[in-house]
Amino acid sequence: MKVLIVDDDSSSRTLLKNLVEEQGYPAAVAPDGRQGLETFRHLHPDIVFSDMRMPEMDGLELLEAIRQEDESAIFVLVTGFGCEEYAVQALRNGADDYIHKPIFDTDFVPLVKKLADRVKGRSSEREVRAMFAQRTLTLELDNTLDRVPIIAGQLLEETGGTIPRDERGGVRIGLIELLMNAIEHGNLGITYEQKEAALRRRDGLAELTGRRLAQPDLAARRVTVYFRMDAKTCEWVIADEGAGFDWLAVPEATTGKAIYASHGRGIMLSLLYFDSVEYEGLGNVVRLVKRL
């Protein structure tokens, strides 16, 4: 188990580092949030203890940056008394716990032991999940755009930790992009030109989406995701009920040679994170493959 401690106060960093290492776990330190994020990306720690008030990047900003890349790392915010509102905000933003300063070993050591058990449990869970020869899942979702990041996160969780930690964030981004495409451009029939024009207006995209959802035939459409995983690959098939598009007319976009304004961004981004991105039929079915 690896631990990262981010705090601009040298005495606090030293105290926490010593307490963690006394329990037998290696601990890295960083003096501010920006350097903490760089260390996180290099170290991939299991647990992050971060002070709230720091120069360059505070604890909440660090939490947000980490959660964009890794949903599994345990994040504990260290706050001063009287900063309970920050602790609550951190929990809402994805922190796992918080602890108040001044920190005493009688409080901190039991917390480290509890979190260590949690990390160990995750490792055991991944080992058990790896015993499954094959896993399949079918998911049907409506056209609620704000649920897409949650759905993408859940689909990623279904992989059981088999995708390397430094690649999980990219896979999640790719799933979000193509699920959003399936709803906006597929089910709701919004062209890329229409979306671009709507984004130039304040609340333009929300208004455009609202008008499409007010049409019963469009609102009734669904996106279906078929997920399959075995020992070698993860595969997602995303199918919408829209008219599709002429994907054969833009071969460069599907091979990653260029970004096309009409169809390229989602495809190109996905090509960065998946080993294979293939459109089928009318273009309203896309198959994503990630080799393990």
Query: Where in the chain are the domains?
Result: 3-127, 134-291
| pTM beyond 0.85, yes or no | no
Name the CATH superfamily for 134-291: Histidine kinase-like ATPase, C-terminal domain (3.30.565.10)
Q: At residue 263, does pLDDT exceed 60?
A: no
Options 1.20.120.160, 3.40.50.720, 3.20.20.210, 3.40.50.2300; CATH for 3-127 is 3.40.50.2300
* CA-wise closest residue to 276 among 180, 171, 186, 165: 171
**Choice between 74 and 195, residue whose per-residue pLDDT is larger:** 74
| Per-residue confidence (pLDDT) for residue 93, from 0 to 100 | 85
Tell me the average pLDDT across 173-179: 90
% the chain with pLDDT above 90: 51
**Choice between 55 and 133, residue whose per-residue pLDDT is larger:** 55
Other CB atoms within a 10 A radius of the CB of residue 258 amount to 10
pLDDT, tens only, 21-47: 999 999 999 999 999 999 999 999 999
Tell me the average pLDDT across 131-149: 87
Q: At residue 226, does pLDDT exceed 80?
A: yes
* The three-state (H, E, C) secondary structure of 239-267, written as one string: ECCCCCCCHHHCHHHHHCCCCCCCCHHHH
SS3 at position 291: strand
Return the structure tokens found at 194. Answer: 């229409």
Residues in contact with 247: Cβ distance below 8 Å, sequence separation at least 6, in sequence order: 254, 263, 279, 283
Q: How confident is the model at residue 162 (pLDDT cuts 50, 70, 90)?
A: confident
Pairwise CA distance, residues 171 & 155, whole Å: 10
Pairwise CA distance, residues 203 & 201, whole Å: 6
